[in-house]
Structure 1
Amino acid sequence: MKKVILSVTNDLVTDSRVHKVALSLKKMNFKVVLVGRKLPGSSKLKRRPYKTRRLKLFFRKGPLFYAEYNIRLFWFLRLRKADVFLANDLDTLPANFLVSKLKGKPLVYDSHELFTEVPELLNRPTKKALWRSIERLILPKIAKAYTVSESIANLYRKKYGTPFRVIRNLPHREKLLMVPPEKYLPSDERKLILYQGALNIGRGLEYAIKAMQYVDGARLLIAGNGDITLPLKKLVADLALADRVSFMAKIPLEELKYVTAQADLGLSIEEDLGLNYRYALPNKLFDYIQQQVPVLVSNLPEMKSIVEQYQIGMILEKHDPKIMGKQLQEALFNRDLREQWIENLPLAAQDLCWEHEEKILEDIFRDLR
């Protein structure tokens, strides 16, 4: 049985994409090891059908973190037997590339986003130039790669000539969950608007919170954590919206779907802050769809295409609190629209599932078994 080591820079708790890939590779008869990092606040991982390892690091963010992680990862990979290396995102690629060359073993690259265009690098030209130089040095030398949307794949193909495939971050097909409301959330008569995922710059969350001033009969639940958690909580306090906006901490993958199933509307309202967000296909969009929750999404090409193709929600007109508030009100209470969306969601959920994407992964790894 051949062994594949997957590596990421997160703590493995909420990364649904690598978890699905690991399960699929195991199903293909690979021995799977998933490597990430341990943070001071990381929750204990539940038992998984593959091995996991989390590295403890001194630095938690910034250039020193990335340097330390890649050095630690290099030695971790160098000292272990493996037949294939799978690097997730540009921040794990240097160590994986060096070890794959030293050992003469194949490397596969999974780009979860357009890394050099993330909002955190937009006003940091030196850091952006460093990551671009790493990308420019390594990507043309990679034979097997895939990413999350056709727009990002096309950009990489044109820029580096690397044959990128597309594997969207879709959830496994599941039966619609019927969860008693009081089991996971306080029960009341108000509609539930859900945002799930990382709380970072450019996710549109500030606008969503301000929009709740103009929405009646609903509350916004923010499920996740990130760099702007504290500023968002302060904004809620400043606007006296504690009764309309609630925060849930990081929820383990196994439990998040039960929260999703109770929502009346799911948000994926990223701002157009560079190409990474413009071409994004966030996994939360498909998680909402799988639990047959109508959505409100940004007017960005990849997300807009999905929503318009299946007619399962509304496209945001503008990141303006009053306009957003009006659209939220309509999306929650326009009975004709909601009946149409709810009628269309089962077909979308059936089509947009990991079982279809998994076939592309099998094709990529076929000659590596």
Structure 2
Amino acid sequence: MSKKVVSLLFSNYKNDNRVFKMANSLAENGYDVTILALCYGDVPEAETQGKIKVRRLKLKSSKLPSGNKIFGSIKYLEFIFSIIWGYRKADIWHCNDFKPFMVGVMARFFNRKLKLVYDCHELESERNGVTSIERFLVLKVEKWFIKKSFVIHVSEGIKSYYKTKYGTADSRTEIILNTPHTSTYVKSNVLKERLNLLPEDKLYIYQGGLMKGRGIETLLTVFTELSEFHIAFMGYGAFEEKIKLASKENNNIHFVPAVPYNEVVTYTSSADYGLISVENICLSYYYCMPNKLFEYVQAEIPILVNALEDCRNFVEGNGIGLAVKEETPESWREAVLELSKRDKSEFTSNLKKVKEIYNWQNEEKKLLEFYKKV
């Protein structure tokens, strides 16, 4: 009989390729998988994605007024107990981030046989913007319950942090990187053509969230000065208007709305270099390994990365790009000029090797082996 897995997340599950890839890998290999999310926005309450069942909870209390703490507490309690009561008989809860893990801990009081997989997408107690109360709660719940659970991390740095802090056993932890499927490389010019650039124009790309803490303002400053190089910001977020304004004032700065996930690598391969400019403003960012890193690898473009431990070690250790020395516009400017002078061919052979190692086909094998222990 197939083990029943509930993949729980506190969003409407509209754009989360990591959650989908994990659920799909499990479903394709004999697990009975349900993704459980919230129902808001333009998403259906129920749908099927391949062998995955997707269920989104629509709360009766959602009609209560917003902005009231009492009503907010009622909504939260309804959500928690709807999940626990409706899905308490599952074999495994795959908890995406801390809040679902906390609900999973409560669910175990109703089903002592329930196994929890705590999928830490970040270093939860050291996230950007976490409040002192949230940090206290995360630290206490993790301290009491993490060693009784199975834990997935997104980088070596975060895994080491948890092992040092809580003594988590290697046999109950695994690193699953957020890599895309490996692709047969076909160089594309779709992005340069869309931006009316010549094939020989040097194009840098930043893709992902356009928001505070991602180094967007620094990149705008740098490329305003380096008008001989082009930069495309591909994604969505609070800084869209700021980028659009800069693009009107600078012919080398471009905004490209986010494209469907299955087209990302095609667009990326049209650029010459990939940028990772996440700012070192919290430990979670310092140890991050964002999916754009591996998308650049699959597109076989050299990478310029900020001074973040795991990213820097990955890029420099594999010889697939350069690392910026300091988080200043001056240091970024020097790094852009240095990378632009290099012959791209010195990185190409390494990129081809690395993409055969760091892809979802290989991460899936790790996931399935890990689930055999659960």
Shared fold per TM-score greater than 0.5: yes
Q: Distance in 1 between matches of 2:72 and 2:195?
A: 39
Structure with the greater alpha carbon radius of gyration: 2
Q: Distance in 2 between matches of 1:211 and 1:66?
A: 46
CA positional deviation for 1:235: 6.3
TM-score (norm: length of structure 2): 0.85
Q: Pick one of 71, 95, 109 that aligns with 2:103.
A: 95
Q: Distance in 2 between matches of 1:360 and 1:335?
A: 36
Q: Distance in 1 between matches of 2:316 and 2:30?
A: 38
CA positional deviation for 1:56: 4.8
Matches within 5 A, 1:101-112: 101-104=109-112, 105-112=114-121
CA RMSD of aligned residues (A): 3.2
1:24 — aligned with what? Answer: 25
1:365 — aligned with what? Answer: 371
Give the AA of the match of 1:99: A
CA positional deviation for 1:14: 3.0
CA positional deviation for 1:185: 3.0
CA positional deviation for 1:220: 2.1
Deviation digits for residues 101-145 of structure 1, max 9, x if unmatched?
Answer: 312321111111101111212xx3233323333333432332x11
Contact 1:179 1:262 survives alignment (8 Å): yes
Contact 1:119 1:201 survives alignment (8 Å): no
Give the AA of the match of 1:12: Y
SS of aligned partner of 2:24: helix
Kindly tell me: are residues 34 and 69 of structure 1, through their superposed partners in 2, closer, same or farther at Cα, counting changes over 3 Å?
A: farther
SS of aligned partner of 2:95: strand
Q: Pick one of 137, 140, 143 that aligns with 1:133.
A: 140
1:220 — aligned with what? Answer: 231
Q: Distance in 1 between matches of 2:111 and 2:203?
A: 52
Q: Give every structure 1 segment of 4 or more consecutive aligned residues whose post-TM-superposition deviation is greater than 6 Å.
A: 41-47, 63-67
CA positional deviation for 1:358: 2.1
Are positions 1:3 and 2:12 aligned together?
no
Contact 1:13 1:253 survives alignment (8 Å): no
Are positions 1:278 and 2:289 aligned together?
no
1:311 — aligned with what? Answer: 319
Q: Distance in 1 between matches of 2:72 and 2:211?
A: 18
2:184 — aligned with what? Answer: 175
Matches within 5 A, 1:9-158: 9-40=10-41, 48-49=49-50, 50-56=52-58, 58=62, 68=75, 71-80=78-87, 81-104=89-112, 105-121=114-130, 124-142=131-149, 144-158=150-164
Q: Pick one of 170, 174, 181 that aligns with 1:165.
A: 174
- Between stretches 303-312 and 255-264, larger displacement belongs to 255-264
SS of aligned partner of 2:195: coil
Q: Distance in 2 between matches of 1:60 and 1:288?
A: 41
Q: Unpaired segments of 5 or more residues in structure 1?
A: none
Greater relative CO, 1 or 2 (CA 8 Å, sep 6+): 1
Q: Distance in 2 between matches of 1:296 and 1:46?
A: 40
Q: Distance in 2 between matches of 1:109 and 1:71?
A: 22
- Between stretches 69-78 and 4-13, larger displacement belongs to 69-78
Contact 2:92 2:115 survives alignment (8 Å): yes
Give the AA of the match of 1:136: K
Kindly tell me: are residues 45 and 205 of structure 1, through their superposed partners in 2, closer, same or farther at Cα, counting changes over 3 Å?
A: farther
Q: Distance in 1 between matches of 2:254 and 2:34?
A: 36
Kindly tell me: are residues 314 and 71 of structure 1, through their superposed partners in 2, closer, same or farther at Cα, counting changes over 3 Å?
A: farther
TM-score (norm: length of structure 1): 0.86
2:205 — aligned with what? Answer: 194
CA positional deviation for 1:208: 0.9
Kindly tell me: are residues 60 and 208 of structure 1, through their superposed partners in 2, closer, same or farther at Cα, counting changes over 3 Å?
A: farther
Aligned residues: 360
Contact 1:185 1:259 survives alignment (8 Å): no
* Identity within the alignment, %: 28
Q: Unpaired segments of 5 or more residues in structure 2?
A: none
